[in-house]
Copies of this chain bind each other. A is one copy, B any other.
Amino acid sequence: MAAKARIGILGASGYTGGELVRVLLRHPRGEIVLLTAERRAGQEMRTVFPQFSPYRLPQLVAIEGLDWAKAQLDVAFCALPHATTQKVIKELLAQAPATKVIDLSADFRLSDVAAYAKWYGHEHHAPALQQEAVYGLTEIHRRDIRHARLVANPGCYTTCAQLPLIPLIRNKAIELDEIVVDAKSGMTGAGRAAKEAMLFSEVSEGFNAYGVGHHRHMAELDQEFSLAAGREVIVSFTPHLVPMNRGILSTIYVRGRRGRTPEDLHAILLKSYVKEPFVHVLPFGETPQTRHVRGSNMTFIGVAKDRIPGRAIVISALDNLVKGASGQAIQNMNLVMGWPETMGLEQVALFP
């Protein structure tokens, strides 16, 4: 068997970084050879994530001063903060143009230069790469991803909303101006930075919406929904925080177009995903729970009738750290590297 591919994880001390390590430790074709973490440079991974204590892993290093050519990475996963990302990936690809990059930040998700500037308040620092990057919602853009050098891995909220909605939009099956996405996320989606609002005692035993009316993820939804529709589509989208670690659930309110019934919408989704290993459409009328996809790369989708005639409720659930981040990133790596798409991602959900 061939030597294993050399894999680097930039930003290994956050939750998506840790999740990449978890999955990659069991991946038959890849080997982790580089882990970076600015503030924890010089430490062992076990001090950052004690669950890796029994495993051999490279020591954490700082990005500053790394020689990307010498690093000889086949694949680099980039789980760095906004803005830093652009600079690091630009340098990496300049020094090591053959490395495949899977970026988990939002920096390369918007392909439109103007849209980026509007949402982020500044020009993109790597506009050529912005054009080159392929949006990594695997089930929708699989063909392009296979040939990409730089994949912009989608956000967790947006993956959860797009998987059920894009087939419905593409099939012109729903009214485009009445879509409401009420989304709920577990806390790991907010990252590992120490903030008062994310303390256990601020979060447990309660529930709230946040970013009402102006969440950044909306730009990504606008882009992809408009692309699928062939016209501008803007949806209502409200994110909420659930006192749980993992999971996103989107409750989506839609109206069928030209007499499409909820059953019709269900049939479209069933057909769209019948061969997909990581998207599972439940029988009509059943709706998913986040706990049943926990730790797996699976998305569950359900469709039910609203009691208002002509309207349907579509609900999707996934694990924000797996299909919503690191799992989909590895799914994309598998495509980019020409490996079986499900490799290393077969883990069954952990419930309870």
Q: Which residues of the other chain, B, contact A205 by a CB distance below 8 angstroms? A: 204-205, 244-247, 291, 294, 352
Q: Pick the contact of A26: B22, B245, B304, B347 (CB < 8 A).
A: B347
| Contact A196–B200 (Cβ < 8 Å) | no
Contacts of A37-72 to chain B: CB distance below 8 A: 49-55
Residue of B nearest to A215 (CB): B307
CA–CA, A195 and B305, complex, Å: 26
Residue of B nearest to A315 (CB): B209
User: What distance in Å separates the Cβ of A234 from its nearest Cβ neighbour in chain B?
Assistant: 6
- Given contact pairs A51-B292, A53-B300, A213-B306, A240 touches B184 in the complex (Cβ within 8 A): yes
| Contact B201–A245 (Cβ < 8 Å) | yes
Q: How many copies of this chain does one complex carry?
A: 4
Q: Which residues of the other chain, B, contact A348 by a CB distance below 8 angstroms? A: 22, 25-26, 51-52, 55
Q: When each residue 246-274 of chain A gets 1 if its CB lies under 8 Å from chain B and 0 otherwise, what string results?
A: 11010101000000000000000000000
User: What distance in Å separates the Cβ of A207 from its nearest Cβ neighbour in chain B?
Assistant: 5
User: What distance in Å separates the Cβ of A179 from its nearest Cβ neighbour in chain B?
Assistant: 10
Q: Which residues of the other chain, B, contact A311 by a CB distance below 8 angstroms? A: 236
| Contact A203–B206 (Cβ < 8 Å) | no
Q: Which residues of the other chain, B, contact A296 by a CB distance below 8 angstroms? A: 51
Stretch of A79-87, A97-105, A186-194, A331-339 contacting B (4+ beta carbons < 8 Å): A186-194
Q: Which residues of the other chain, B, contact A242 by a CB distance below 8 angstroms? A: 207, 242-243
| Contact B350–A350 (Cβ < 8 Å) | yes
- Given contact pairs A53-B280, A194-B196, A351-B49, A247 touches B214 in the complex (Cβ within 8 A): no
Q: Pick the contact of A208: B55, B180, B213, B289 (CB < 8 A).
A: B289
Residue of B nearest to A178 (CB): B178
CA–CA, A307 and B180, complex, Å: 12
Residue of B nearest to A24 (CB): B348
Interface size class of A (residues with CB under 8 A): 35 or more
| Contact B347–A292 (Cβ < 8 Å) | no
Residue of B nearest to A54 (CB): B280
| Contact B243–A18 (Cβ < 8 Å) | no
CA–CA, A294 and B315, complex, Å: 28
| Interface residue? A346 (CB, 8 A) | yes
Residue of B nearest to A177 (CB): B308
User: What distance in Å separates the Cβ of A319 from its nearest Cβ neighbour in chain B?
Assistant: 10
Q: When each residue 283-308 of chain A gets 1 if its CB lies under 8 Å from chain B and 0 otherwise, what string results?
A: 00101111111111010101011111
CA–CA, A305 and B238, complex, Å: 11
- Which positions in A face B, CB cutoff 8 Å? 15, 18, 22, 25-26, 49-55, 178, 180, 182, 184, 186-188, 192-196, 198-210, 212-214, 218, 234, 236, 238, 240, 242-247, 249, 251, 253, 280, 282, 285, 287-296, 298, 300, 302, 304-308, 311, 313, 315, 317, 346-352
